[in-house]
Structure 1
Amino acid sequence: MLIASMNQAAFPNILVVMTQPDVEKQVTTEKQSIVRISDQADQTIGYNFLAVNELLPDLQFNGVQTLTEQQVAVLNEALVVAGFTGDLVADETPHIVVGYVQECDVHPDSDHMHVTQTQIAPDQTVQIVCGAANIAQGQKVIVATVGAVMPEGKIIWPGQLRGVQSDGMICAAREIGVAGAPAKGIMVLPDDWEVGREVTADAVAALLK
């Protein structure tokens, strides 16, 4: 997983790369304008490239953006030169996709949540806990997979809800940025939408017209 972001107004030429969820106690190591952030077990959480314009001069954006394999290769080379491990892996797959709810069972420790087995690609099914009242087996739904960055900035990481593993989020239309969409309930998609297909706010908004 690789999430890259920039804020040119506040921090010019600094690329922030995240590979793991944040932790309270962090260790930082700086070498040659690169800061490695790790946990106390020395597992990499991410890197700050403090002079990314010297590595990727054409990289100009604000917010989150997908880096290409070529761009990630440049960053890995810089990490190795600085004395770090070039361990970044490019992630160009979409993270807001069509899912299919294969199973939907009552959460063992909740009066409103359900535990789903949701297919997010032809060869991949994940467990997702969902609290929406209208979730049901057999639906096509919007899924924010692990690694997704939601419009308000929330990052989807693996986690647990009431003690049950949940690897993703089944979304309402408003949660992916569809203005004026209903505030309650997940968005149920047409049956002919292909599992794994990228879902955009514009495409969903067109359905609601």
Structure 2
Amino acid sequence: MIATYNKNVGDVLMLIVANNEGADVNYERKADVARVFREDTGQTVAWNIFNVKEEWPDLAQGQNALTKAQVAELNLRLSKAGFEEQLVYDGQPKFVVAEILTMEDHADSDHLHVCQVDVGLEEPVQIVCGAPNAFVGMKTVAALPGAMMPSGSLIWPGALRGVPSFGMLCSARELDLPNAPQVRGIIDLQTDVTAGAAFDPETMWQA
């Protein structure tokens, strides 16, 4: 679940729970809750929660990490508004230290690589990457499904030229880090960090 607060469109907390995959969407609103759903399948893809800033004054513009208690409060709002669906708490960090375990050339590309990456989960995840500086053993930063990039784009499971990819290996420029090199290439973390740890730019990033 991606929680994003946008004060520019009013006091609205948007909770994105699924990829609409380009399908047309519609919405139904009850009290201060609106359910956004796909017109073709009826699947819920997002919730808009109105008038939240007074209760949660610490909400920041952009993506917010919600606590388990906050998700429980939001579920009460949904229930009181008359919706039966419930939100699922996800405490997994979305920007994490990643270690490239294996890397093979993409069969249908002259620059893409298919990487098996340790992101701290039980099993490695597969991420397709086109960075020219990637190498086996490299520790970098992965944006996992459910991440919102500084540009506003969302990370979902997908495929690049037919090969499944479950995240994105990031450059400093893509993460809008200070003094980011304006060249192609993912972040090469030169510090002793553990795969799966939440990425902290203040302690882990150095231009």
Q: Is the structural similarity TM-score above 0.5?
A: yes
SS in 1 for 2:136: coil
Distance 1:80 1:151 in 2: 32
User: 2:106 — aligned with what?
Assistant: 107
Q: Please say which of residues 79-88 and 162-171 is displaced more in the overlay.
A: 79-88
Give 1:195's aligned residue. 195
Q: Is 1:173–1:204's contact at 8 Å kept on the other side of the alignment?
A: no
Residue 128 of structure 1 corresponds to 127
Once the 2 structures are TM-superposed, how far is the Cα of residue 53 of structure 1 from its aligned partner?
Answer: 4.8
Give the structure 1 partner of residue 86 of structure 2: 87
Deviations 1:123-178 (A, max 9, x none): 23111000011212222121111111122222111111111111111111222222
Question: After TM superposition, which residue ranges in structure 1, 4 or more long, deviate above 4 angstroms?
Answer: none
Provide the secondary structure at the position in 1 that maps to 2:142: strand
**Which secondary structure state, in structure 1, belongs to the residue aligned with residue 174 of structure 2?**
helix
Tell me how far 1:191 sits from its aligned partner: 6.7
Letter in 1 for 2:156: W
5 Å matches for 1:32-111? Answer: 32-39=31-38, 40-53=40-53, 56-58=55-57, 60-111=59-110
Residue 12 (structure 1) shift: 2.9
Query: Number of paired residues?
Result: 204
State the AA in 1 paired with 2:161.
R
What runs of 5+ residues in structure 2 fail to find an aligned partner?
none
1:66 and 1:91 in contact (8 A); partners too:
no
**Normalising by the residue count of structure 1, what TM-score does the alignment of the two structures yield?**
0.88
Tell me the CA shift for residue 122 of structure 1: 5.0
Q: What runs of 5+ residues in structure 1 fail to find an aligned partner?
A: none
Percent identical: 37
Structure 1 residue 41: deviation in Å?
1.2
Q: Write the deviation string for residues 18-49 of structure 1: whole angstroms up to 9, x where unpaired.
A: 11124331131111221101112121101111
Counterpart CA distance in 1 for 2:32 and 2:177 is 39
- Name the residue aligned to 1:178: 177
Structure 1 residue 21 corresponds to structure 2 residue 22: no
Question: 2:110, 2:128 → 1: CA distance?
Answer: 13
| Counterparts of 1:67 and 1:47, CA distance in 2 | 14
TM-score normalised to structure 2 length? 0.89
CA distance in 1, matches of 2:89, 2:31: 22
Aligned twin of 2:155: 156
Residues 27 and 196 of structure 1: is their aligned pair in 2 closer, same or farther, counting only changes over 3 Å?
A: same
Q: Write the distance in 2 (CA, Å) between the matches of 1:194 and 1:118.
A: 13
CA RMSD, Structure 1 to Structure 2 (Å): 1.9
Contact 1:150–1:175, Cα closer than 8 Å, also in 2: yes
- Residue 5 of structure 1 is matched in structure 2 by 4
| Richer in helix (by share) | 1
Compared with structure 1, are the counterparts of its residues 193 and 28 closer, same or farther at alpha carbon in structure 2 (3 Å cutoff)? Answer: same
Q: For residues 187 and 33 of structure 2, what CA distance do their matches in structure 1 show?
A: 42
Q: Give, in angstroms, the shift of residue 66 of structure 1.
A: 1.0
Distance 1:116 1:70, change over 3 A: same
| CA–CA distance in structure 2, aligned partners of residues 185 and 151 of structure 1 | 17
